[in-house]
Amino acid sequence: MKPYALVGEVLAPEPLGRAAVVIQNGRIGNLVRSPRSGDLPHMRREVSGTICPGFIDLQINGAFGIDVGPNPEALENLARELAKTGTTSFLPTLISSPQGLYADFLDALKDASRSSGARILGAHLEGPFLSPARKGAHDPANLRMPDKGMIRDLVGSDVVRMMTLAPELPGALEAIRLLLDNGVVPGAGHTDATYEEVLGAIDTGLCMGTHLYNAMSQLGHRAPGAVGALLTDERVRAGIIADGVHVHEGALRVAYRQKGPESLALVTDAMEAAGMPPGEYKLSGRNVCLEEDGAVRLPDGTLAGSALTMDRAVRNAAEILHIPMQDAVRMVTETPARVLGMPEKGRIAPGADADIVVLGGDGKIEETIVAGETVYAGQEEDHT
């Protein structure tokens, strides 16, 4: 690929003003402040919108009528569709499933990992080592106690990047150590743990909270629970679903004030109803309904993932929290990249991957670039 430059206002995610982002061989070769023609490659393009790092979704169960599962073609289609939302990389997330399904799912991820569109960074396994008391939309028949043999089999695939578990379960601390030894990010979620149990897990190496507030022991003035531990311990980051359904805007503000954009990552926790009209859908084989108010629920009323997209999450955060766009962008770029230990992602800097989003003045996606190649451009009907 010949080098070319995008010229415009840049959020790196810190605001850099007008600059030129020079792209070559899928990476950012240079970043030129106050660019002049002589400083740039022959191929260059003025951009009317704001140039940002590409968005990273740490937790997504599906979208656009596609349910995450052991189907490479479906995962490839999902990757292409997500580019419309500014997502340039993501962790397909499998909720608690029958044990025999995991190997097929991880094999499918390997087959789909080089698809066009958003890049698959690996799997997020949400379960099956979760608390039955906080199961949410997970089928209780698929929940298990932590099993070191099963974990070794899963991480041996070299595809798993994150696992959500309940740290109070017997064997959970050993599981956290095993995950860390194999380069997997351990997160706390679907947990009924006490404040002290979560702190003990953080001492062991737990470094992430999965969808803060949802499906976890709540903050009480005498029993701060998992929420209290995740909010107050500076060693841990947390994902949060800013869809206006999962978390009240007041609780979102509390989380932001406590964690800041450096430790709070916006996630969608989306399922196949995201980007689709109200109606009946599936979440890992379970029947769910996308309602007119945007909530996705099981027949018994339990929330079952979201219909949120990453571009909408960024706009929601900026509007609800009354924060500058660069801080909202940081929560979907640099912060999730740090969760994953991937400094080449989530920023615009020399040597970083050329995963770039161009945002219009209204926060809508004008262009998505993955590894230097445009994978989405143009205006479509708003899907959010």
Residue 290 token pair: 């996308």
- Contact, 158 vs 181, CB < 8 A? no
Residue 359 token pair: 């945002």
| Residue tagged active-site, from 57, 67, 192, 269 | 269
Q: How far apart are CA 80 and CA 68, in angstroms?
A: 14
Look up tokens 């009946």; give the residue. 280
* C-beta contacts of 323-330 below 8 A and 24+ residues apart: 323/256, 323/261, 324/15, 325/11, 325/50, 325/359, 325/363, 326/11, 326/13, 326/14, 326/15, 327/261, 328/261, 328/266, 329/11, 329/13, 329/52, 329/53, 329/359, 330/13, 330/261, 330/262
Q: How many CA atoms lie within 13 A of 312 on its CB side?
A: 18
Question: Cα dist. 61→23, 37, 74, 139, 383 in Å?
Answer: 32, 45, 12, 15, 17
DSSP string, 314-351: HHHHHHHHT--HHHHHHTTTHHHHHHHT-TTSSS-STT
Active site residue 269: yes
Phi and psi based region of residue 326 (left: phi greater than 0; alpha: psi -120 to 50; beta: remaining): alpha
Q: How far apart are CA 198 and CA 168, in angstroms?
A: 8
- Contact, 342 vs 121, CB < 8 A? yes
Nearest to 245 by CA among 210, 194, 297, 193: 297
Catalytic center residues: 269
